[in-house]
Amino acid sequence: MRSSQVLIATLKETPADAEIISHQLMLRAGLVRRLASGLYTWLPMGLKVLRKAEAIVREEMDSAGAQELLMPSIQPAELWQKTGRWSKYGPELLRLKDRHGREFCYGPTHEEVITELVGQEVRSYKQLPITFYQIQTKFRDEIRPRFGLMRAREFLMKDAYSFHLDQKSLQKTYDAMFAAYSRVFERMGLDFRPVQADTGSIGGNTSHEFHVLASSGEDAIAFSNQSQYAANIELAEALAPSGERPHAVVNMTMVYTPKKHTIDEVCEYLDIIPAQCLKTLLVQGSEEGSVVALVIRGDHELNEVKAEKNTLIAAPLTFCTPEQVTVACGASIGSIGPVGLTIPILVDRAAANVANFVCGSNQNGQHFSGVNWARDLPEPETADLRNVIAGDPSPDGEGSLEIARGIEVGHIFQLGDNYSQKLNANVLAESGKSQILKMGCYGIGVSRVVAATIEQHHDERGITWPLALAPFQVVLVPINAHKSIRLREAADALYQQLLDAGFDILFDDRGQRPGVAFADMDLIGIPHRLILGERGLDNGMVEYKCRADGNESEFPIVDVVEELRKRLTI
């Protein structure tokens, strides 16, 4: 393609509102433009990348036996009411009304639509298992759209859904999808990791996320240094400490801690380490108006996803207001402690193993020290309430955990019969009886994966695309062609020759100064660059530069096809 046929919209300056590198580079390289919060236009150069990502996903879905279809992005409320998600989904669901006052939503996902469709169209067990997918625009009214395409409101997703008679068949397709996802991300040249995941609001039991490893990732993932164990930190179990709780050696005493509220302030003041201080957080209980106290070690973080799964606790997890705190414990937030509390108390396994600890006293400006479970307050009811940290034992018993940051680019779930029950999706089984279908669902954030790729593939000059996703494989830049008819003709001929040979090539015939053209191409990140100048032409040579490693070389123009092929197959 000639540069006159594809808008080159590079920017010199880094846009001020773009925080992470992929967002900055997508804007600077002229791949996307922001329309409004979380809404982006894909410019021609960016769309070429997006289409390549889509094509890889489509090929792998097809070869895994999934059938492509396309569902409407607008969905009727009734379907969502049947599954209960109309009320459960909350403000992320963009709701609209048509001219007749009928309610709809813009689909954030398509379980309802596909389950209804399969319930109507698939009649017999003989048609099973069956898997459908689509690549389509989703809308989620994210509370904080950010990082450009990474967490947009409108984004492109591949969503697939499989239907089965039994768990065995579901597991087989799930495994095939797992393998297909691994191939997709491998082909894209990504350093990724599948991890066990929480099933969130979609429900079901078994689930894996695929994460692209990047320091800017919003998720933390925990993995064992000795086994295959890897899980989203939301899910990773914090095992109970292996040793016995130490003995009580000191008496409980009240200590004055004026104006010391945070764990750090209290620890510094009392000269103790945070692991010796317990923090108490009050959250809403599942029973209307009830309050529950959660106790964790001062050096640990509450895991909200784990906490809200406890039946005593309201989901989503909601912290008590300062007024509720005062009513429940008689003091303000920085002074809460478990001694003498009359509300239910859940204690993290690690916190339950601490002796002679410091905690709030439920009196402002004072803490207790030397506190011991089973002496100063009852033996605690324990739960897994905290995030694992590096060095914790791996839940599978092999090795210890390390923590890395990840970007979730794919998510697969076994949904069981959650949706098919509610939407009455059944088929006639071999026995002649009607049977409810089992279901799996499988998503890839196609637009997010483009951004995630840039997080992993860039340098100080711009994007360094893996070949499979680059907008073009090769760019041809003629130098000072406006001054020489001979050079223009030679460049045209070379371009035509490379097109005919099947290369995906950009001919940068804009006539920019060489420095400007090279900077643009480095920013856009085309993997292979050919430079044709007057001197080279005299010698029958073309210059070559590899974007990723910066290596430069020269080869005879007559060998160009062969030389490029060599480089493209590595």
User: Can you give the binding site for ligand ATP, defined by CB under 6 A?
Assistant: 109, 140, 142, 151-152, 155, 157, 200, 408-411, 443, 445, 447-448
CB 307 to ligand ATP: min, Å: 18
Residue 427 Cβ vs Mg ion, minimum distance, rounded to whole Å: 28
Tokens 């059938």 correspond to 67
Q: Which residues of 286-310 are buried (b: 16+ CB within 10 A; e: fewer)?
A: eeeeebbbbbbbbbbebbbbbbbeb
Closest CA to 506 of 517, 495, 497, 516: 495
- Ramachandran region, residue 540 (left: φ > 0; alpha: ψ -120 to 50; beta: rest): left
Q: Least Å distance between CB 149 and ligand ATP? A: 6
* Least distance in angstroms from the C-beta of 417 to Mg ion: 21
Mind spelling out the 3-state secondary structure of 140-209?
CCCCCCECHHHECCEEEEEEEEEEECCHHHHHHHHHHHHHHHHHHHHHCCCCEEEEECCCHHHCCCCEEE
C-beta closer to ligand ATP: residue 352 or 451: 451
Which helix (H) or strand (E) element contains residue 434? strand 434-436
Interacting partner of 448 out of Mg ion, ligand ATP, none (Cβ under 5 to 8 A depending on kind): ligand ATP
Residue 140 interacts with which of ligand ATP, Mg ion, none, CB < 5 to 8 Å by class: ligand ATP
> What is the sign of the dihedral through the CA atoms of 49, 51, 52 and 57?
positive
Among 411, 528, 545, 547, binds Mg ion (CB under 5 A): 411
Nearest Cα neighbor of 31 from 46, 13, 9 is: 46
Nearest to 543 by CA among 460, 477, 488, 464: 477
Q: Which is nearer to ligand ATP, 57 or 494 (CB)?
A: 57
Closer residue to ligand ATP (CB): 148 or 334? 148
Residue 410 interacts with, from Mg ion, ligand ATP, none (CB under 5-8 Å by kind): ligand ATP
- 3-state secondary structure at position 80: helix
Name the residue nearer to ligand ATP (CB basis): 151 or 458: 151
Q: Which does 281 bind (CB under 5 to 8 A by kind): ligand ATP, Mg ion, none?
A: none
Residue nearest to ligand ATP (CB): 445
Work out how close the CB of 163 gets to ligand ATP at its nearest, in angstroms, rounded to a whole number: 19
Which residue, 142 or 504, has its beta carbon nearer to ligand ATP?
142
In the bound complex, what is the minimum distance in angstroms from residue 556's beta carbon to ligand ATP?
46
Q: Which is nearer to ligand ATP, 132 or 495 (CB)?
A: 132
For residues 294 and 451, which CB has a smaller minimum distance to ligand ATP in the complex? 451
Q: How many CA atoms lie within 13 A of 403 on its CB side?
A: 15
In the bound state with ligand ATP, the residue whose beta carbon lies nearer, of 158 and 458, is 158
Which 497-526 positions form the footprint of Mg ion (CB under 5 A)?
Answer: none
By DSSP bridging, strand 192-196 and strand 207-213 are antiparallel
d(Cα 406, Cα 19) in Å, to the nearest integer? 17
Window 50-89: contact mask with Mg ion (x via CB under 5 A): ----------------------------------------
Provide, rounded to whole angstroms, the least separation between the CB of residue 152 and ligand ATP: 4
**Closest distance of CB 425 from Mg ion, Å:** 23
For ligand ATP, the closer of residues 184 and 336 by Cβ is 184
With CB under 5 to 8 Å by kind, the binding choice for 152 among Mg ion, ligand ATP, none is ligand ATP
Buried b vs exposed e over 216-237: b needs ≥16 C-beta within 10 Å?
A: bbebbbbbbeeeebbbbbbbbb
* Measured distance CA(162)–CA(425) in Å, rounded: 12
In the complex, minimum distance from the CB of residue 412 to Mg ion, in angstroms, rounded to a whole number: 9
DSSP code per residue over 207-221: EEEEEEE-TT-SEEE
28 sits near Mg ion (criterion: CB under 5 A): no
Taking the complex as a whole, how short is the minimal distance between the CB of residue 228 and Mg ion, in angstroms? 21
Among ligand ATP, Mg ion, none, the one that 151 touches (CB under a kind-dependent 5 to 8 A) is ligand ATP
Choose the stretch contacting Mg ion; rule: CB under 5 A; options: 179-187, 246-254, 332-340, 409-417. Answer: 409-417
Residue with tokens 């579901």: 170
**Cα angle for residues 132, 109, 107 (degrees, 5° grid):** 115
Binding region for Mg ion (CB under 5 A) out of 171-179, 405-413, 519-527, 543-551: 405-413
Among 160, 38, 155, 152, which Cα is nearest to 110's?
Answer: 160
Site string for Mg ion, 208-227 (x = CB under 5 A): --------------------
Size of the site for Mg ion (CB under 5 A): 1
User: Could you tell me whether strands 528-532 and 474-478 are parallel, antiparallel, or unpaired per DSSP bridges?
Assistant: parallel
Distance of closest approach, residue 109 Cβ to ligand ATP, in angstroms: 6
Q: Which two tokens stand for residue 126?
A: 């003989």
CB nearer ligand ATP, residue 92 or residue 98: 92
Residue nearest to Mg ion (CB): 411
Rounded to whole angstroms, the Cα distance separating 337 from 377 reads 11
Which residues does 106 contact at the CB level (< 8 Å), separation at least 6?
73, 74, 75, 94, 96, 139
Under DSSP, is residue 91 helix (H, G, I), strand (E, B) or coil? Answer: helix
Q: Taking Cα atoms as reference points, which of 95, 130, 100, 105 lies closest to residue 115?
A: 130
In whole angstroms, how close is the CB of 194 to ligand ATP at the nearest point?
Answer: 12
- Closer to Mg ion by Cβ: residue 107 or 370: 107
Of 114 and 293, CB closest to ligand ATP: 114
Contacts of residue 500, Cβ cutoff 8 Å, sequence gap at least 6? none
Residues that bind Mg ion (CB under 5 A): 411
